[in-house]
């Protein structure tokens, strides 16, 4: 049987088609629509539709039909990088509420598809590209942002109106700022009220942020880029919040902040108010305020505080007048609370973790999360009267989304043994199949199926008694002890070990004779406050100790060669790879650090200060969390990789590391990628990068 190769893994057609995106039920229930990557070009999204009764699917509109002649703007490229969405074609769409038309967003333009005539017309002005293109809830207007200016277009008469504009390049309207997109998971900068009557929008002024300069290189040569990057401890952008009346074209400004440095975390309209979540700069206090739409007076209805930090979420749900659902980790894990007429009462308690409220009314809520084990995710129905939870999904991990205000739910399910299926239903436990991946002789992965290795899950116990989950992939029937790679991320906000179809990268290593261990150390996501808290004010300590414990466990397995263990990581994982080499040189004999953070003073405010505080208040924590006090311990082989256009973990991180390694006379190998940003997703870069990584480990662990 053939072995999986790097070239085949990253070439078209993909071995496994990317899961459909943006699954929606048509307003009349006549079809299910979604975005799907093209077989011939995995980076192009097309619009598809499927029959709900038969599951028969067809490509509806190709992304090539709406290709633009103008190149993507910097704002578009930045937004793609922030979302880690490296695609073109039809990147978003919305159903018109009457079900007779769709808004298609493609390559900087908004297009309306008339279902009666099948005609497509461009709805945004020609000659310019736009971002944040939205159809208003009632379908009367289109909103969009161009060159930092916010526009509204009345679709019936084609009249365009400027909502907010500025000649200052540091000021933008209606688009989320860098920190909101990169670190807060808030990608919107303007929001429509349900009746189309008002738009809430941001005014972002980047001028308070110190202009810094970073080196960037592409195949066109080097250049110096000015970037207003908010380094830890320094000034943030100023973010205002306006309320625009569509009928009168009048904007009023909302005084939402309690202090000058507060963050605008979330914005949403309720039935009669604007709900604004305000987070202080230390991120240990969060207030949810309801803003009266007439007086613009605000009242705080929910307040959270923490001795560490507060994780943001999108779970504020209005179910009636002065009646709201909310999730909080105040008791240790994420549970649901009901705020009614000023009173707060817990709905759920104890074990488990609620990740998302998908739909709710005054009797029940449909939520995703886990109750039995953090390695799975399920749909639960929760009775608001007594908190009773009923699981509505089978074994595995279920990624759930809601359509038509929660009337329909879509479930993308998989497990270690099953590559995936999509089903839909109304949240009553009855599911209708839409599609299922079967590896038959027509499937692209079929030639490699016999060599496929199913990973195994297991647990270890951390030094403080908490349970650590791992995923272990071993080569097929090794004749002798084999080398092992610890594939690590290790940072907060991420969970890797789950009962889901595993990344094919694991198969790539296994087919080359390597075992792979992945372990979710303390500090990682989906486990609650107690599991995350040990990293507060000092990063790179307990995380490394947990990964070393994992490596020690693996070294004791009969099929692992304890003298040939390596470590691989990207971003926070690259930081972890460096620290594992430095702090456990007798256990890790080779490591690859891709785009690593090396000094947290060089990273942004919202992420870094969440865990470390500001540098002036935790100088010792910043120093000990940096890699530089530890690099003298590096004895194993090191390969350093970085994209030379990285605007997130800027190239300065690796340049400082190179200098420090050279001063310490520590040898290392280096590969840089001109034009590549932080994710390094270009096909040629991916093929070259993983070929080099495999060859590096084969040279230093298999000799």
Catalytic residues: 571, 646, 678
DSSP assignment letter at 522: T
Q: Is the torsion defined by CA of 161, 167, 173, 178 positive or negative?
A: positive
Task: Give the residue from 545, 515, 588, 644 showing the smallest Cα distance to 218.
Answer: 644
d(CA 495, CA 528): 12
- Other residues' Cβ atoms within 10 Å of the Cβ of residue 269: 20
DSSP assignment letter at 346: E
- Other residues' Cβ atoms within 10 Å of the Cβ of residue 655: 14
Task: Give the residue from 569, 488, 494 showing the smallest Cα distance to 524.
Answer: 494
- Using CA atoms, how far residue 508 sits from 10, 74, 451, 565, 699, in Å, is 11, 35, 11, 17, 16
Task: Give the residue from 552, 389, 535 showing the smallest Cα distance to 461.
Answer: 552
Tokens at residue 70, please? Answer: 């103008």
E strand or H helix at 80, and its extent? Answer: helix 74-83
CB 105 within 8 A of CB 92: yes
Report residue 628: phi and psi, to 5°.
-70, -35
Burial tier of 406 (Cβ tally within 10 Å: 0-12, 13-18, 19+)? middle
Q: Is the torsion defined by CA of 570, 572, 578, 583 positive or negative?
A: negative
CB 124 within 8 A of CB 70: no
Report residue 88: phi and psi, to 5°.
-135, -170
Inter-axis angle of helices 572-583 and 542-555, to 10 degrees? 70
Long-range contacts of 154-158, Cβ-Cβ distance < 8 Å, separation of 24 or more: 155/112, 155/123
| Intra-chain end-to-end CA distance of the chain, in Å | 25
Task: Give the residue from 415, 381, 431 showing the smallest Cα distance to 423.
Answer: 431
Tell me the DSSP string of 274-315: EEEEEE-TTSSEEEEEEEETTT--EEEEEEEE-SS-----S-
Cα–chain center distance at 683: 21
DSSP assignment letter at 626: S
Instruction: Give the bridge partners for 218, in sequence order.
Output: 221
Q: Largest Cα–Cα distance in the chain?
A: 77
């Amino acid at each position: 049987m053939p072995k999986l190769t790097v070239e085949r893994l990253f070439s078209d057609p993909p071995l496994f088609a990317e899961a459909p995106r943006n699954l929606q039920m048509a307003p009349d229930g006549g079809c299910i629509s979604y975005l799907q990557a093209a077989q011939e070009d995995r980076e192009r999204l097309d619009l598809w539709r499927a029959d709900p009764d038969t599951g028969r699917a067809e490509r509806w509109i190709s992304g090539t039909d709406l290709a633009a002649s103008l190149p993507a703007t910097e704002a578009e490229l930045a937004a793609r990088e922030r979302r880690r969405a490296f695609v073109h074609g039809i990147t978003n769409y919305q159903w018109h509420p009457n079900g007779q038309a769709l808004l298609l967003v493609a390559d900087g333009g908004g297009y309306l598809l008339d279902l009666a005539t099948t005609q497509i017309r461009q709805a945004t002005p020609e000659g310019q590209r736009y971002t944040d293109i939205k159809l208003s809830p009632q379908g009367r207007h289109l909103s969009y942002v161009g060159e930092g200016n916010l526009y509204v277009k009345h679709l019936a008469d084609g009249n365009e109106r400027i909502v907010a504009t500025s000649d200052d390049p540091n000021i933008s309207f209606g688009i989320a700022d860098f920190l909101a997109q990169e670190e807060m998971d808030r990608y919107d900068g303007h929001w429509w009220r349900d009746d189309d009557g008002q738009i809430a929008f941001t005014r972002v002024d980047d001028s308070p942020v110190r202009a810094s300069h970073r080196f960037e290189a592409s195949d066109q040569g080097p250049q110096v880029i000015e970037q207003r990057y908010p380094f830890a401890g320094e000034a943030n952008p100023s973010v205002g919040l306006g309320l625009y009346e569509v009928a009168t074209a009048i904007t009023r400004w909302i005084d939402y902040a309690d202090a000058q440095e507060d963050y605008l975390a979330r914005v949403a309209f309720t039935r009669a108010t604007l709900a604004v979540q305000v987070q202080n700069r230390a991120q240990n206090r969060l207030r949810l305020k309801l803003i009266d739409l007439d007086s613009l007076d605000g009242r705080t209805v929910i307040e959270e505080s923490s001795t560490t930090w507060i994780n943001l979420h999108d779970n504020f749900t209005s179910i009636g007048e002065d009646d709201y659902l909310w999730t909080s980790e105040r008791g240790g894990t994420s549970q649901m609370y009901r705020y009614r007429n000023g009173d707060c009462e817990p709905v759920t308690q104890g074990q488990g973790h609620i990740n998302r409220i998908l739909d709710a009314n005054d009797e029940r809520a449909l939520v995703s999360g886990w109750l039995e084990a953090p390695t799975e995710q399920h749909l639960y129905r929760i009775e608001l009267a007594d908190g009773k939870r009923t699981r509505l999904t089978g074994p595995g991990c279920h990624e759930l989304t809601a359509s038509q205000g929660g009337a329909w739910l879509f479930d993308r399910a998989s497990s270690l043994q099953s590559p995936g299926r999509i089903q839909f239903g109304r949240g009553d436990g009855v599911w209708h199949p839409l599609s299922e991946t079967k590896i038959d002789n027509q499937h692209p992965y079929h030639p490699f199926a016999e060599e496929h290795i199913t990973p195994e899950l297991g647990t270890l116990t951390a030094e403080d008694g908490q349970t650590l989950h791992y995923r272990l992939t071993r080569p097929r029937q090794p004749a002798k002890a084999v080398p092992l790679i610890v594939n690590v991320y290790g940072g907060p906000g991420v969970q890797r070990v789950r009962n889901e179809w595993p990344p094919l990268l694991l198969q790539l290593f296994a087919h080359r004779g390597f075992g792979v261990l992945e372990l979710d150390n303390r500090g990682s996501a989906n486990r609650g406050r107690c599991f995350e808290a040990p990293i507060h004010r000092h990063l790179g300590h307990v995380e490394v100790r947990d990964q070393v414990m994992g490596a020690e466990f693996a070294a004791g397995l009969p099929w692992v060669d304890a003298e040939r263990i390596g470590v691989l990581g990207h971003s926070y994982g690259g930081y972890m790879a460096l620290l594992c080499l430095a702090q456990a040189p007798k256990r890790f004999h080779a490591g690859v650090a891709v785009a690593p953070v090396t000094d947290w003073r060089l990273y942004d405010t919202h992420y870094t200060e969440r865990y470390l505080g500001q540098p002036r208040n935790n100088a010792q924590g910043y120093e000990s969390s940096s890699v530089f006090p530890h690099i003298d311990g590096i004895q194993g082989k090191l390969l350093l990789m970085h994209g030379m256009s990285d605007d997130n973990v800027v190239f300065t991180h690796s340049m400082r590391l190179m200098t420090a390694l050279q001063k310490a006379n520590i040898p290392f190998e280096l590969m840089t990628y001109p034009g590549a940003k932080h994710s390094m997703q270009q096909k040629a870069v991916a093929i070259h990068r993983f070929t080099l990584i495999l060859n590096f480990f084969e040279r230093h662990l298999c000799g």
